[in-house]
Each structure stands twice: as structure tokens, then as C-alpha cells.
A and B are shown apart, each in its own frame.
Chain A
Amino acid sequence: MPTQASINAQAQVFLSPAELSYLHSSLTLNPAIRPDGRSSTQFRPLVAEADILSNANGSARVCFADGTEAVAGVKIEVEKTQDAWKAADAALDVDDGEEYEEGRGSRRKADLSEDVWVETHVEIPGYREDDALPVFLAGILTEALLASGELKQRLFINRRFHWKLYVDILLLSQPLSYPLPLLSLTTHLALLSARVPLLISQGEEDPLFSDDWAAATLLYPRTGAVAGDKPPITLLVVTIGENIIFDPSKDELAVAESVVAVSLDEPSISPAARSGKQKANPQSRRNLRLLSLRTIDPPSHLTSSGVPTSLGMETGADDFGTAATSSEAIVAREGLDRGEVWSPPRGGLKRNMVVKIIKECTSEEGVGQEVIRALAAVG
């Protein structure tokens, strides 16, 4: 039985055509005038805290300025590695002993099984588990996590066991605007604060861990040889006319011409730089790495268009003669220039806009770096 929450959640964004037209024309100006006066790359202030739950390996809570809130918890549990690995090796007749003594480099064959080492689950009030939105969001987040490939190395214990990473994200309020950036930032913070118990056993014996929680290591270490690896973030970018807008509010999403989810992460410091004489300055900014770019159907497609005054029936209600005939009405409606009357945008994302978006997100001084720096300073 659908609950009231789900009924509310599925209701569309209700805005009148006049409002939509006003917002759209404000945002197509150059520079864009956003309804709250922000610049196009400015985020709304948000409240974030990490490591709030003691029963989870890592946790974080982020509240956006419009009241939406999300809590993410990371649990890491030991799991026995699938036997498919051994079977594949047996089939290929590889000398097992040496390969695995060497380290992690030669695990190409088992790449398939490693993708199940990370499981993400998103819970949104009012949606069932198998509804499209939670499944899609969980998919995007998992894909971003696995894309870099380094996470799997961290989760490796030995040949028979590995860590399984469970990320559970709870959205604590109704999704007013598309919840993807909120969930992504919360996951990023939770992963940054996630700790793994210290391994005492060695080699291939059954894994044994220290009881002392203070000795637990961070999953994404902040200092040391492997510093610089950070979990990915996903930003929501909106294009309207020739403008690109970050952190769209509910109103801006409703008039967007296209909505794009961009997943980024910081590339790791290359081994040469690590071992080289010059220490790579960890504070130096680098270009971010683009992990994925997905378009999301903008809610503006669901709006209905306004009727221009010249075609309206209510004007001249007594005089039906002056109302346009149906063919004239169609010509006028399909015309490109509709002046100040709202019509849902048609068409997709232009190619030059894609380039612009990627450049803005990944450049050294771009928005992506700012967000990652700001998150690193939390907690």
C-alpha cells in the first residue's frame, strides 16, 4: 500500500508557467542571475560532520541548506573470496605460489569477481528498494567507487579472504531536488573517515586482527606513501542556454535544459613521483580525473507549456471570432520564438557544452578541486 510519503514523493514539481518562464529567462542571461543571487559555481553552505556513529566503520552526515539531510554508514566485513578465482587459475595452469607472493599486480583474471566487493544501498523515504531512483543512484555511486581500481587493492587481504565494503546511505528527508550530489558528498566523507582493523596475521593464514581499535588504519590514508587517493565525488551540473550552473536548487532544476552527473576523483600520485627525489607536494593542485558523465532526464520535460496571451481563450471570452483557429495555433505554438511564455525545452546536450562542463569540473582551479579540498578539511 503506498504510503502518504510515497504519494508526496512522486508528485511533480509544481510551478506555474509564469514562474518557469521567469526563472528560465533569468538563467539564460549572461551572467546568469540565480534566484538566490549565487554565482554559477557557488554552492550553498552545507553542514557536514564525519565519524558520528560508533558502530559503523565510517559514517558521515551532511545537511544542505534547503533542509535535505543524508546519513551514510560504511561497514567493512571479512568475506571469503569466491572459488571462481581458484578455478580460473587452475584452468590456466599458472604457478600460483609465485604469482601471489609477488603481490597484487597479476590479478587480471579475477577482475570480474572483484566488482562485488563493494555494495551500495540507497534508502529514500517514500521509495521502495526496487524503484528506479534508488537503484539508479546506487548504481552511479558504485560505479564511481570502482572506476579507479585502487579501492579493490585496499580491500585485498590475502588469496582466500577480502574485505567487503558495504555503503548504506539514508536520505532523511523527502527528495526535494535530485539527491545525487548530497548522497555523493556524504559517501565521500564516510569513506574518508572509514577505518579498517589492523591486520596481525601474515601471508595466507586466516586473518587475525588487533583488538585495539586505536591501531585501526584509515581506508583512505591521509599521509604516507599512498596519500592522495581519495574517494570520488559526483556533482550535478545543469545547462541552461549557454550557461553552466552548479548545485542547482529545486527551481533551477525545474527549468534546466539538461542535467548531467559528473563523477570525479583525484588521480593518485604516480609511483615515480612517490619514490623520486622530489617530494610531490600534496597540496599542489592537479587536474581531476573524470570517471563518468551521465545525463539525467531533467524534470522540465514533465512541465506543461504556458499559453501565450494571443492564443488564450480566456481573453476575449465573449468574442470567439478573434481566437486563433487551430492551424494558426499550431503554427504559433511550434514556432521557436515564443517570447516570454514557457515551453518545455526540447533536444539534448550540445557538444560544446559537454566540453565546457568537463573543463570546469576537472581543471586545477575548478569546482571539483574546491569541493574535494573543502571535504578533506571536515572532521
Chain B
Amino acid sequence: MIDERGDRCPGCTKWYWYQSASHTFTDSSRTQSSSQHLHSSRMPLDTSSYTLSQLRLDGRRWNELRRIHAQISTHAAADGSSYLEMGNTKVVCTVTGPAEGRRAGGQGGGGDVLDVRVEIGLAGFSGVERRRQVRGDKRIFEMAHTITESLNRTLLTNLFPRSTLSISLHVLSQDGSLLAALINAATLACVDAGVPMKDYLVACTAGCMSAGAPPPPQVKADDDGSNDPILDLTALEEQELPFLTVATVGAEDKVAALVIESRFHAGRLDEMLAVGVDGCKRVKELVDEVMNMAPKSRASVRRAQLTRTITDAFAVKLRDLIWSRGATATPPIRLALVARPRVALHCSGGIFRLIPVPVGGCACRALAVGRLDARLKGAHWQGFGTMGSDGRAVAIEGGFT
């Protein structure tokens, strides 16, 4: 039950917005570092709501990708550049080359194929807590190596002997699927630079809800879906659930890279891989659309993406919701559909307000929706929805209690 100010955590003095009866969220990332507070970010992922509503924490179904926004040629001075957002994971990539090194003989570029070099930089402000990038971080090095190897197989390197291609990746914000976003950004930047390649190299992540148990031998009639694999994980989900990153070449099932850093039952691999490859196909379609668009509108495929994935996820809009309850109030302001992190609906003094619930450290501004008739004042509404950081878009599902 939500009262006017949200629920009060019994263990502390803080207020939480939530979706179900238990705590699912921490406070805003910006105040998180106060170590005085007991409820820190190490809360277990609450998946109990999943079985009820088939929706994950940010309102997606198990097989839905996050919003992908991609732009190429963002950097005038570089040979190729791209900017990619997968949900809240934001990556910038610049490519220089193919060019010959300025040293006689040179360390690299001495061979008869193109020498691909990848550098990854994680900004200190990219995570929820500020963390300085440590030189020689093995995980970063391994990611760079994976990208280098996959690109070596995809690009037609025999056309550029003795040259070097320098790819520089910068991570501005991390919210899960980091390696996948880096691979996608690198591909886009290479296409922008005019480096020939066999096909797009795209990647995405897949995980599974239950790690230890083997998959059931057959799908039962009352399967509540709690054993489903899930697609495109956020940072919270990656912390708790096993996941893998898969990269494919083109739209077929050719897997170029597979990275698994967690443990799970071997029987789960097949379905996770299938879900991942399917996700890659959809990422490839989106990347294709970005490349295909008219030069003047190389832009995000925001709206196209959303109409496909959101409308089937959320069947009810706020306007309809209120109308169906017999309210005579004028409908609130018009709403467009954009997918973003979760919001909670807060009713106070007759005004509905959508408060964003920070997921993985993101935050957006609240949106005042409108006034309701006095009859509904004080009504309790429970549900969830999604809202854009431009504060204008929402789709909600839920009901009055």
C-alpha cells in the first residue's frame, strides 16, 4: 500500500518508492556513499514480482531489449566515430586509420594484414560510485582483447597491409551489457570510417533467472516463467544473475565471441545462447536502420523501437486508466511513448505525479501529470511504468486498490 509519501522502511528513516511489498530499490545513487545508511546497494534482486506480472524491474519482458540509441560521425576530426546508448550504458568510439605508423619498421603494422588496436577507457564517473580506472585492469584488458580478436575476423584485414587501425572506446556511463555496447559501438565506428567488413558484428547479453537448477525436461502447463532466460541485462541484474555476452556476425547464427564470467548449470547454456543470438539479430536490425537512414536524419531509432516493444508490454495508458474508472476529470496532458527506467505513480492532493525510480544510478525529473477529480483524491494506485528523461513519456500498468 502506498500512502502519500511512499513506504517507510522499518529499519531506517528513509522513504522508498517501490513496486511490491518488499524493498527493491536503494536510494538515489548520489547519496549512496553515505555509509551510515544500512540499506546500501547490496540488496538481493527481488524477482518475486516477476512471476506475478512477467515484468522485470524496469518494466521489460524477458525478451525485450532496452532502448538503443546510436549515432555515427559524431566526431568531425576522427576518421570514424560513433555514439551508442544501450539503456543507460553510454559509449563513445573513435577510429583513426587505417594509417601507417610513423616509425620505420614500426612495432605494429609490419605484417601483411591490418593491425587492429583497441583501447578502452572507463570514465571515473561512469559507475554509481566514482572509481578511478586502474592501469592493468585485467577485466578491461580482456574486453579489449575480445574486441580486437572479433574485429580481426570480421574486417577484411588483408586489404590494408602494413597499416594500423586504432580504435578508442570511452565509457561514459555503465549500466550492464558493457562489452556488448563496446562491440556495437566499435562496429558502427568502423563502418563510419569506411573499413570494409564482411558483415555487422553485433553483441548483446543474456542471462537466466535461476542459476543452479537444470532446466525442466518439458514445459509444464503451469509454468510461471520463473525459469525463463532474460535478454539484455542491467547492472543490477548482472550483479545477481549469471549472464553471458554473445557477439554474432550478421543476421545468421554465426557466433563471433562468447564471454561468460559467471557460473550456471550447463543445461541452461543452450537457451541463453538462443535468446542472445535472437537479441543480436534485433540489434543488427536497429544498427542497419541507423546506417540506412537519410544522411540528414542519422538519428536515434527511438520512436521506431518503442512502438514495437512498448505497446505490447504496456496495454494501458494513463488516460484510459482514469477513464475506465469513471473519472470525469479532463485527461492529463498528452503522453508519448518512450521507454526509460521505471517510475512510480504518486497521488497526493489530487495530483498524480510520476516519480522516477532510480535504477542503477540513473535519475530523471518528475512529471506532474494532472489533476484528478476530487472523488479520486486519496486513492491508492499501485503499478509501474516507464518514463523518459525528457519527462514527457509514459506508459503505465496497474490499478487502483
Contact = CB atoms under 8 A, between A and B. Distances in A.
Q: Are chains A and B touching directly in their complex (CB below 8 angstroms)?
A: yes
Contacts of A2: 107
A55 B78 contact: no
A225 B92 CA distance: 40
Interface residues of B, number: 61
Given A55-B126, A59-B125, A75-B125, A207 B36 contact: yes
B366 A67 contact: no
Contacts of A78: 31, 33-35
Contacts of B127: 55
B164 interface: yes
Interface string B3-35: 000000000011110000000000111110111
A211 interface: yes
A150 interface: no
Nearest to B15: A211
B130 interface: yes
Contact of A197 (B30, B36, B88, B96): B30
Interface string A1-40: 1111101100100000000000000000000000000000
Nearest to B167: A5
Contact of B30 (A7, A57, A129, A170): A57
A168 B123 contact: yes
Contacts of A121: 124, 132
Interface string B84-106: 00001010101011010111000
Interface stretch (B168-176, B199-207, B220-228, B258-266): B168-176
Contacts of B164: 4
Contact of A172 (B27, B96, B103, B170): B170
Contacts of B168: 5, 125
A195 B366 CA distance: 16
A53 interface: yes
Interface string A52-72: 011111010000001111010
Nearest to A68: B77
Contacts of A128: 135
Nearest to B364: A54
A166 B170 contact: no
Contact of B125 (A8, A73, A216): A73
Given A55-B362, A128-B135, A75 B130 contact: yes
B125 A5 contact: no
Contact of B96 (A1, A5, A66, A207): A5
Contacts of A80: 35
B340 to A, nearest CB: 10
Contacts of A129: 135
B64 interface: no
Nearest to B164: A4
A77 interface: yes
Contacts of B47: none
A208 interface: yes
With most chain B CB atoms within 10 A of its CB, the pick from A75, A77, A78 is A75
Contacts of A69: 75
B140 interface: no
A190 B88 CA distance: 19
Nearest to B130: A75
Contacts of A67: 75-78
A76 interface: yes
Interface string B121-155: 10111111110110100000000000000000000
A365 interface: no
Contacts of B129: 75, 77
A211 B28 contact: yes
Nearest to A121: B124
A154 to B, nearest CB: 16
Contacts, number: 145
A69 B73 CA distance: 13
A55 B35 CA distance: 19
Contacts of B121: 123, 125, 170
A94 B130 CA distance: 36
A168 B75 contact: no
A262 interface: no
B131 to A, nearest CB: 9
Contacts of B28: 197, 211, 213
A36 to B, nearest CB: 16
With most chain B CB atoms within 10 A of its CB, the pick from A77, A206, A211 is A211
A197 B117 contact: no
A168 B78 contact: no
A77 B75 contact: no
A54 B389 contact: yes
Contacts of A216: 30
B234 to A, nearest CB: 13
B92 A172 contact: yes
Interface of B: 13-16, 27-31, 33-37, 75-78, 88, 90, 92, 94, 96-97, 99, 101-103, 107-109, 115, 117, 119, 121, 123-130, 132-133, 135, 164, 166, 168, 170, 172-173, 175, 360-366, 389
Closest 9 CB pairs between A and B?
A67-B77, A73-B125, A168-B124, A75-B130, A77-B33, A206-B36, A56-B125, A209-B31, A55-B361
Interface of A: 1-5, 7-8, 11, 53-57, 59, 66-69, 71, 73-80, 121, 123, 125, 128-129, 166, 168, 170, 172-174, 176, 195, 197, 206-209, 211, 213-214, 216
26 contacts: A3-B119, A4-B96, A4-B99, A4-B101, A4-B109, A4-B115, A5-B168, A8-B96, A11-B102, A53-B172, A54-B363, A55-B29, A55-B88, A55-B128, A56-B125, A66-B77, A71-B92, A76-B30, A123-B133, A170-B121, A170-B123, A173-B77, A211-B14, A211-B16, A211-B28, A213-B28
Given A76-B30, A129-B135, A208-B34, 11 more contacts: A1-B107, A4-B96, A4-B109, A5-B96, A7-B102, A55-B125, A56-B125, A73-B125, A121-B132, A209-B34, A214-B366
